[in-house]
Amino acid sequence: MPNTKQAEKRMRRDAKRRLRNRHHLSRMRTYIKKFRSMVEKGQLEEAKELLPKVISVIYHTASKGVIHKREASRRASRVATLLNKALQKVQG
Per-residue model confidence as pLDDT tens digits over 9-50: 999 999 999 999 999 999 999 999 999 999 999 999 999 999
Q: How many Å apart are CA 8 and CA 2, to the nearest integer?
A: 6
Q: Indicate the pLDDT class of residue 89, thresholds 50, 70 and 90.
A: very high
Overall number of domains in the chain: 1
Residue 92 has pLDDT above 80, yes or no: no
Alpha-carbon span 83 to 86, nearest angstrom? 5
Element (H, E) at 83: helix 69-91
pLDDT at position 1 is: 85
Q: How far apart are CA 83 and CA 14, in angstroms?
A: 37
Give residue 91's pLDDT.
86
Strands (E), 1-82: none
Identify the CATH number of the domain in which residue 50 sits.
1.20.58.110
Cα angle 86, 72, 66 (rounded to 5 degrees) comes to 135
Range of the domain at 49: 5-91
pLDDT tens sequence across 51-67: 999 999 999 999 999 99
- With bands split at pLDDT 50, 70 and 90, how would you rate the model's confidence at 6? very high
In the 8-state DSSP scheme, what is residue 43?
-
The enclosing H or E element of 79 equals: helix 69-91
